[in-house]
């Protein structure tokens, strides 16, 4: 029997609109679920229980007045790098452990306008640097499908919360795969929109030319509903693109007969676990059976260089973005210093964790005199090649199909001493961010009880195509219906 908190957004919306259930009842069910399972999952940095119940009462009044929008009264989770006025926004870092934002991110404002109930802020890799949520300064999050394994990262807390029914949806951020990879590992849907499609105002930045906010949901229809609410131009974000927002739900329910799908061979290269490759190939056959034309002979030859490009560009931008944490204006401040310079040094020494300090040093190095041309400028040139290869591919194909990850989720602590391996866990997702294009990860099956995700990639602002293909596959296979054994 499916419990109330395990339903989808579109299912509970119907119940709310018909007044079969109230937002307060819905919120209490989710709070009870959090109390029951989060001690094992550890998805939340902050649970906003009192605020959620107040917002639920307001939502019920709104519904009684006849204003029940698709997200009204539905409890949601926000990754803890989205600024929320009056609520801690920590970035899972000691540096911002007690930071309370004085304003809301644009996406938070948009969701509040829809009547969102905010249930809490989700754990993450510190400053979004990591692929396992083990880099949180507070605690590691556990995968609901296997509590001994990682949920992915950096949006691991958000993915685990949605998978464990501790919220109906979440917003995450994706710099190199941080929505899609944990979505894959937790068997949920995760959409990384086109760069500029969703406002980044109020997002605590990792790498400003790569970051993008997107939905993490139980199924594809829910992702379309959330995209309707958060998409659009924002003049407070200089990277926001003025591009018409359509109703994404209208892309659903259409067949994919005749659509051209390309399978890039580089995404099935050495290093992919055979069971993952087999599962994805089975998924591709299912797409063929739905009438799509599949070409297995596609090449994106620069894609293998994407991780190297990513770790040059992202660390350089992170070095610049994190320079503001100096112990003076806000955040952690070391007080026992004898000079301004010692205070600055100690603030950053004790405020940041090992991975963050490592990436700041890498970024500062690649931007330094004598290294800028060798590393940063060359990385930007290869970035252009990667983008051009995607553009050429989309002249022939409606979408590209790949695994979301080469690997199944590994055990907590297993890769702690293998830094290079952890850096390459996003090898399938990183090229998408470098090119600024949209991609979605959807559940594609299981290997020994562990989830496998299918990634669909499209040209800029073609989210409708992603959703159409993903929804057709989802409806034909039903993998989204499975619940973790909690």
Cβ distance 173 to 213 under 8 Å?
yes
Per the residue annotation, which of 131, 136, 173, 178 is the catalytic one?
A: 178
Report how far residue 180's alpha carbon sits from residue 159's, in angstroms, rounded to the nearest whole number: 9
Per the residue annotation, which of 28, 79, 94, 415 is the catalytic one?
A: 79
Instruction: Look at residues 229, 87, 77 and name the one whose alpha carbon lies nearest to residue 165.
Output: 77
Q: Is 396 a catalytic residue?
A: no
Q: Is 184 a catalytic residue?
A: no
Instruction: Look at residues 106, 206, 51, 153 and name the one whose alpha carbon lies nearest to residue 423.
Output: 153
DSSP secondary structure letter of residue 231: B
Q: Is 19 a catalytic residue?
A: no
CB-based contacts of 278, cutoff 8 Å, min separation 6: none
CB-based contacts of 105, cutoff 8 Å, min separation 6: 82, 83, 84, 199, 201, 202, 203
Per the residue annotation, which of 23, 92, 93, 154 is the catalytic one?
A: 154
Instruction: Look at residues 409, 415, 432 and name the one whose alpha carbon lies nearest to residue 187.
Output: 409
Is the omega angle on the peptide bond into residue 154 within 30 degrees of 0, that is, cis?
A: yes
Q: Which residues of 301-327 are buried (b: 16+ CB within 10 A; e: fewer)?
A: ebbebbbbbbbbbbbbbbbbbbeebbb
Query: How far are the Cα atoms of 219, 296, 299, 304, 394 from residue 391, in angstroms, in the given order?
Result: 28, 18, 12, 17, 5
Report how far residue 338's alpha carbon sits from residue 18's, in angstroms, rounded to the nearest whole number: 65
Query: How far are the Cα atoms of 120, 161, 178, 366, 410 from residue 44, in angstroms, in the given order?
Result: 7, 8, 17, 35, 21
* Helix or strand run (H / E) with residue 31: helix 23-41
Query: How far are the Cα atoms of 278, 287, 308, 432 from residue 283, in angstroms, in the given order?
Result: 9, 6, 29, 20
Q: How far apart are the first and last CA of the chain?
A: 14
Instruction: Look at residues 402, 441, 435, 424 and name the one whose alpha carbon lies nearest to residue 179.
Output: 441
Query: How far are the Cα atoms of 10, 168, 254 from residue 70, in angstroms, in the given order?
Result: 7, 12, 21
Length of the chain: 486
DSSP 35-79: HHHHHHH--EEEE-HHHHHHHHHHHHHHHHTT---TTTT-EEEEE
Report how far residue 112's alpha carbon sits from residue 166's, in angstroms, rounded to the nearest whole number: 19
Report how far residue 304's alpha carbon sits from residue 292's, in angstroms, rounded to the nearest whole number: 27
Residues tagged active-site: 79, 154, 178
């Amino acid at each position: 029997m499916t419990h109330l908190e395990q339903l989808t957004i579109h299912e509970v919306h119907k119940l709310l609109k018909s007044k079969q259930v109230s937002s307060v009842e819905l919120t209490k069910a989710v709070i009870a679920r959090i109390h029951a399972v989060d001690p094992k999952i550890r998805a939340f940095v902050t649970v906003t229980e009192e605020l959620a119940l107040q917002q639920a009462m307001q939502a019920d009044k709104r519904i009684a007045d006849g204003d029940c929008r698709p997200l009204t009264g539905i409890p949601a989770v926000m990754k803890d790098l989205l600024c929320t006025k009056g609520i801690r926004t920590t970035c899972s870092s000691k540096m911002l452990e007690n930071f309370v934002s004085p304003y809301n991110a644009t996406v938070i404002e948009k969701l509040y306008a829809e009547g969102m109930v905010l249930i809490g802020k989700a754990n993450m890799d510190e400053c979004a640097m990591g692929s396992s949520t083990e880099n949180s300064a507070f605690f590691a999050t556990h995968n609901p499908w296997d509590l001994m394994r990682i949920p992915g990262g950096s949006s691991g807390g958000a993915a685990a919360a949605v998978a464990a029914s501790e919220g109906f949806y979440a917003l995450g951020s994706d710099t190199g795969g941080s929505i899609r990879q944990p979505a894959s590992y937790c068997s949920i849907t995760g959409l990384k929109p086109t760069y500029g499609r969703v406002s980044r105002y109020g997002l605590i930045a990792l790498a400003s030319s790569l970051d993008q906010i997107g939905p993490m949901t139980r199924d594809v229809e829910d992702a379309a509903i959330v995209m309707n609410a958060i998409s659009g131009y924002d003049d407070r974000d200089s990277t926001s693109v003025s591009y018409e927002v359509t109703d994404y739900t209208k892309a659903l329910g259409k067949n994919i007969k005749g659509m051209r799908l390309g399978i890039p061979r580089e995404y099935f290269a050495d290093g992919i676990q055979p069971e993952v490759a087999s599962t994805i190939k089975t998924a591709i056959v299912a797409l063929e059976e739905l009438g799509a034309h599949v070409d297995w002979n596609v090449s994106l030859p620069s894609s293998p260089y994407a991780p190297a490009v990513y770790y040059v560009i992202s660390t350089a931008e992170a070095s610049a973005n994190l320079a503001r944490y100096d112990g003076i204006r806000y955040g952690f401040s070391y007080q026992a210093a004898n000079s301004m310079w010692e205070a600055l040094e100690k603030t950053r020494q004790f405020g940041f964790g090992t991975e963050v300090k490592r990436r700041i040093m890498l970024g500062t190095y690649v931007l330094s005199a004598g290294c800028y041309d060798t590393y940063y400028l060359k990385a930007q040139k290869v970035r252009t090649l990667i983008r051009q290869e995607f553009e050429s591919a989309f002249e022939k194909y409606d979408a590209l199909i790949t695994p979301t990850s080469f690997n199944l989720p590994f055990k907590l602590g297993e890769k702690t001493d293998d830094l290079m391996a952890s850096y390459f866990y996003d090898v399938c997702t990183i090229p998408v961010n470098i090119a600024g294009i949209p991609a979605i990860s959807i559940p594609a099956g299981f290997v020994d009880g562990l989830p496998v995700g299918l990634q669909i990639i499209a040209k800029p602002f073609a989210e409708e195509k992603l959703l159409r293909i993903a929804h057709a596959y989802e409806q034909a296979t039903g993998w989204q219906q499975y619940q973790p054994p909690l």
